[in-house]
Amino acid sequence: MSNRKLKYGIILFLLVLSLILGSIILYSRNNEDFKIIFLDVGQGDAILLSQGSYQVLIDGGRDGKLLLEKLGKYIPFWDREIEVILATHPDQDHIAGLIDVLRKYKVKTIIKTQDQSESQTYKTFQEEIEKEKAESVSAKKGTEIKFLSEARAKIIYPFSETGDIQDNGSNGGSTVIKLEIGNENFLLTGDLPKEKESILAGSDLDIASRVLKIAHHGSKYSTSEEFLEKVSPKEAVISVSRNNSYGHPNEEVLNLLKEKNINILRTDEKGDIVFNCKKNLSCQIE
């Protein structure tokens, strides 16, 4: 009799557990909250765009183990697929972490420019892309990522496919993405230098955005006053590590942001920076 009760008890427990897990998965898949997460990955960039079970990862920092830990915090444990990976350019502090992601997750689509690097990191990254056999899309103006809601991420730079920018010059080919969520806009700039910012500022493109991801970790080679005036952000996010050897973020850049009363959000001070956008509502900083 006791064995029968034990068997029934186990069956009932498994049934309840299945219902709970099913409810969690169903809720996650249908949760319409849209999150933009600037991951604290040290001296590098990694941005996760997430809505329910749909994820887009923009860059991956230089530490794959750290990046996987961060993704495990925000992606449901049962979800082993990332819909899109976008590499803004081939620098190590933007692509190295993506190597481990390609090994651990199923990736549907990979977006990147034709810019290349001679580094071993880039070669390994390319090898993992070939193994993954994901759809390959060129990162150029007009490429668009659509989400479950009406949100969309549009590539606005580079204007055409590149392919002859090597190593130190790769920043000039950085992919720039404008993320539109209702009336909210986020401008994500990779490591774009001032001379390329000037091209965008002088174009007829609408780059005005509430949030600007400061290019190149706040270095002196990016973030001109002309560009800031055209974007006119309320918040500026700087992805940077504590006590880094590059002196990022540059003091002049910080002073310029302060002069324009732009709220500065730094990963070295705040850790992960999360914007939560609820349906038909504005995005709030968590």
State the Cα–Cα distance between residues 188 and 174, nearest whole angstrom.
10
According to the model, what pLDDT value does residue 51 have?
A: 93
Question: Regarding beta strands 263-266 and 273-277, do their DSSP bridges make them parallel or antiparallel, or are they unpaired?
Answer: unpaired
Enumerate residue ranges in the chain where pLDDT < 70.
1-31, 162-169, 280-281
Answer positive or negative: Cα dihedral of 194, 253, 87, 47: negative
Closest CA to 217 of 186, 257, 188, 190: 190
Q: Can you tell me whether residue 244 is helix, strand or coil?
A: coil
According to the model, what pLDDT value does residue 78 have?
A: 93
**Bond from prior residue into 158 cis (ω within 30 degrees of 0):** yes
Q: What would the pLDDT profile of 197-251 be if each residue is shown by its tens digit?
A: 999 999 999 999 999 999 999 999 999 999 999 999 999 999 999 999 999 999 9
According to the model, what pLDDT value does residue 162 have?
A: 60
Give yes or no for a contact between 95 and 67, defined as CB atoms under 8 angstroms apart. no
According to the model, what pLDDT value does residue 11 have?
A: 59
- Residues 6 or more apart whose Cβ sits within 8 Å of residue 240: 43, 217, 218, 248, 249, 266, 267, 268
